[in-house]
Amino acid sequence: MTIALSLVTVLYLLVNVSYLSVMTPKELISSNAVAVTWGNKVLGSWGWIMSVAASLSAFGSLNGSLFSGGRLSFATAREGLFPEILSMVHVHRLSPTPSLIFTTFISLIVLLSGDFETIVNYSSFLGWFFHAITVSGVIYLRIKKPELPRPYKVFILLPVLVIIAAIYLVLAPILDNPQIEYLYVALALFSGIILYIPFIHYKVCPGLLTKLTVFLQLFLEVAPAEKNM
């Protein structure tokens, strides 16, 4: 695994070096797809190969994101933080069908904006915000729980650098180009507290939600999963 990650890192750096060697800064900034522009300049009539390669890469990334996103919803529901139906799996295929459908539905809602650049900016904003929080947990546990077993331990400076980079990537787009939409995204993020307090903290469960869970369980042919799945 380490060798594979090192190889990918080296290839990634070499690709970026090739971009900088072939293209001018103006071309890099104005290009809508740097890899395609690079392919047209270097490969000539074979430049279409880069478009195909970029499409395959995007498809592979989408496939992995779909499964990882569905798994996150599944695990979150299994811990009692999402509706119970999302913690169930298909009785025959053993796939987390409800959580996959939920992830797809949320993704379609995000796509309604129709502006790819906007989606990337706001997704990056939220992504790095959560990266900063997650990596902060490493430092917190290192200080507060030094006795915990750590099969894999990183040098403490590494998470510190990641947190600094994450904070920069969260604040930089806001300071560079302040937009009211960032406030909307932040409000949508923290609006989860409104749902958390009654439904998670105080365990309020409306009868309608129970009936809906039973209906979806029968309709999707899913059942509660074991903890070790």
**Domain count for the chain:** 3
Q: Which two tokens stand for residue 29?
A: 């900034």
Q: Are residues 185 and 201 in the same domain?
A: no
Q: Is 123 found in the same domain as 97?
A: no
Asked which of 12, 27, 46 is the last residue of a domain, the reply is 46
For 1-25, what is each residue's pLDDT tens digit? 567 667 888 888 888 888 888 888 8
* Residues 132 and 175 both lie in one domain: yes
106 inside domain: no
Whether 96 and 197 map to the same domain: the answer is yes
Q: What's the CA gap between 68 and 72, in Å, rounded?
A: 6
Grouping H, G, I as helix, E, B as strand and the rest as coil, residue 205 is: coil
The predicted model gives 103-123 an average pLDDT of: 76
By the 8 A CB rule, do 23 and 41 touch?
Answer: yes
Instruction: Assess if residue 107 is contained within a domain.
Output: no
Burial class (CB in 10 A: 0-12, 13-18, 19+), 73: buried
For 158-204, write each residue's pLDDT tens digit: 888 989 998 988 888 788 777 777 777 778 778 778 877 777 777 77
Q: Is residue 7 part of a domain?
A: yes
Distance, CA of 27 to chain centre = 29
- Is 213 part of any domain? yes
- Cα distance between residue 49 and residue 45, in whole Å: 9
Q: Are residues 78 and 41 in the same domain?
A: no
Enclosing domain of residue 175: 113-190
Task: Judge if 137 and 163 occupy the same domain.
Answer: yes
Q: Are residues 40 and 55 in the same domain?
A: no
Using DSSP's 3-state secondary structure scheme, residue 20 falls into: helix
Name the average pLDDT for the chain.
82
